[in-house]
Chains A and B, each alone.
Chain A
Amino acid sequence: MRTPFIIRLLSAMPRSGWIALAVFAAITLVVMPALHLWVPESSPFHVSTYVITLGGKILCYAIVALAMDLIWGYAGILSLGHGVFFALGGYVFGMYLMRQIGTDGSYQSLLPDFMVFLDWKELPWYWGVSDSFPLTLLLVLAVPALVAYVFGYFAFRSRIKGVYFSIITQALTFAAMLLFFRNETGFGGNNGFTDFKRILGHDITSPGMRVILFSLSALVLMLTLLLSRYLVTSKFGRVLAAIRDSESRVMFMGYNPLHYKLVIWALSAMLCGIAGALYVPQVGIINPSEMSPANSIEIAIWVAVGGRGTLIGPVIGAALVNLSKSYFTVAFPEYWLFFLGALFVGVTLWLPEGVVGLWKRIKARSAA
């Protein structure tokens, strides 16, 4: 007899996990939106615009961290180019946002300002579907996944592994950054896209839209977590972990690692793309610096800090590192990178399983 899918999904997480998820849902989908929209600013309970925007940003980063954990923690493939998939999702959605500006730009043209500036007379062909919201959403999923699939196909097929794979992913994101820096590429050169006005005709800076984007990010994060839980507890996840531990042994059992790696790799890229598309309307800008090699390395640091191979760890890691980043870059801007580097070295040396590992150790000690 087949076990119904819903039972499988429910059994993918222990009860405490479901309770934590419900609490998180209540806070991000109900409490925070209500406190932002309906509690007056004078009240100490008011949640400020700053908090909603920062929170939304961190939720997007947490999705990326989860996607990274799937590929690094569970498949043992360290990507140092995940920033490129995040940026691709962001750019695709940014194109839609640029088209939504309509004639409200500084040149009052139907074309985006940067195209007017370049003296272009019509939209390039690849901007073809950027007027359509549903098609844009489709591309947000398809473009990062497709780029990842093609790249992964050649890399995994040639059995490129370990540090070599990490290096070529760095090269990938660096090459993409250089490409997007060029004005002729048609994505606004080094300024990228900004000055967005509307989504589906609604003001992008209104409190209501802010809250929708924030809650949507939280919802996507929760769905990503559930999907990831399902994946890593399924047979697929066990095969993946087996590939990580001994690829050739898995092959002699009749599995083709190429397909397994490609599925998780493209899925991971797709999740990054979704995060990028949620991120851009909340921060109001996307430019090629999102593809800088350092950005992708930072993603790996979030995962390492939180604890790779634990799913919840990377979410915590993304939150911790980015909260300290927003504090540091205001308080001591010049020391942020040193702090980040020290954090990474410290975690690697003393906390190989990150914050989650530390928590487990403390719990084990208090139990003993």
Chain B
Amino acid sequence: MSESQTLQEAWEDITPSFGHMLQPGLDTSHNVILYLEDISVSFDGFKALNKLNLTIDVGELRCIIGPNGAGKTTMMDVITGKTRPDTGTCFFGQTLDLTRMTEPQIAHAGIGRKFQKPTIFENHSVFENLELAMKTDKRAWVSLFAWLNSEGRDRISDTLKLIRLDGEADRQAGLLSHGQKQWLEIGMLLMQEPQLLLLDEPVAGMTDDETERTGELFKTLAGKHSLVVVEHDMAFIEQLGGKVTVLHEGSVLAEGNLATVQADPRVIEVYLGR
């Protein structure tokens, strides 16, 4: 890491406010919200991502499939700033270079993420989980004096209804069922009002009924938000009905609607060859 880069990071730590106030509004003039080009990531010589290219349009609902270890989660790590790519570019809108931003900055810019393993705050109540996620000034000294106003309360109760947890607001989140935890995490994501939602296996562990309701929810979100959904559940992907991208060994193997992709001989080989 070069010295100037270290200084730059140090400066951002000292002046978090400037960091996000000077953030230009998201420029999506070319109707593209996310743009990955030639992204490579390797772990100890193993290429988890290999020259990955991906473009997501504004308001799109994109599904990503691929066998285990294809690099789906790693791709999300790159977009959210958790992993720095070895090479390649990664832009949010036309102007925001995600490879140069920290995790909180990327979150502020408008990218929300749901993790593969549900990560809600088990010791906090359902209500508090949503409160923490709510889009607001998140600097430490502001939180010291923050007090939830009625507008915030309304937003939380609207979200509680949407994720069907309005009866559980004061319950400790750790006591929810697996499916409910998934929903809570989706609710937390929505509280952040992101423009781009990254969802890593959102319906894993849900009942068929819950899965279907999640699909309905995602379809209503698309258009207003852009969604990238990683899933193994083909019925769910069929329900969503968007464009499908198949990842294999860190790069895109095929792209198109579900039927076309499923008919692609290379895709069949990857899935059957295991």
Contact = CB atoms under 8 A, between A and B. Distances in A.
A259 B16 contact: yes
Nearest to A156: B13
Interface string B199-217: 0000000000000000000
State the majority secondary structure of interface residues on A: helix
Interface string A243-269: 001101111111110111011000000
Nearest to A249: B119
Interface stretch (A180-188, A233-241, A348-356): A233-241
Nearest to A4: B147
Interface string A157-178: 1000000000000000000000
A252 B123 contact: no
A248 B116 CA distance: 14
Interface in B58-117: 80, 82, 102-104, 107-108, 112-113, 115
Contact of A254 (B10, B104, B121, B140): B104
A242 interface: yes
Contacts of A245: 121-123
A256 B16 contact: yes
A8 interface: yes
Interface in A331-368: none
B225 interface: no
A3 interface: yes
Interface residues of A, number: 29
A121 interface: no
A234 B121 CA distance: 16
Interface in B113-152: 113, 115, 119, 121-124, 128, 131-133, 138-141, 143-149
A15 interface: no
Interface in B250-269: none
B121 A242 contact: yes
B156 interface: no
A254 B107 contact: yes
A157 B146 CA distance: 25
A248 B82 contact: yes
Interface residues of B, number: 35
B122 A239 contact: no
Given A251-B103, A255-B104, A263 B124 contact: no
Contacts of B119: 246, 249
A253 B16 CA distance: 15
B40 interface: no
Interface string A1-31: 1110000100000000000000000000000
B159 interface: no
Nearest to A257: B104
A253 B188 contact: yes
B103 A252 contact: yes
A1 to B, nearest CB: 8
Nearest to A254: B107
B121 to A, nearest CB: 5
Nearest to A264: B140
B120 to A, nearest CB: 8
A157 B13 contact: yes
A137 to B, nearest CB: 23
A8 B103 contact: no
A3 B16 CA distance: 27
16 contacts: A3-B147, A8-B147, A234-B146, A235-B143, A238-B132, A242-B132, A249-B119, A253-B188, A254-B104, A254-B107, A254-B108, A255-B104, A256-B16, A256-B102, A259-B16, A260-B143
Interface of A: 1-3, 8, 157, 231, 234-236, 238-239, 241-242, 245-246, 248-256, 258-260, 262-263
Interface of B: 10, 13, 16, 80, 82, 102-104, 107-108, 112-113, 115, 119, 121-124, 128, 131-133, 138-141, 143-149, 188, 192
Given A235-B132, A248-B82, A263-B141, 8 more contacts: A235-B146, A235-B148, A241-B124, A246-B121, A251-B103, A252-B103, A258-B13, A259-B139
The 8 closest A-B pairs by CB, nearest first: A254-B107, A259-B140, A251-B103, A236-B143, A235-B146, A249-B119, A235-B143, A236-B144
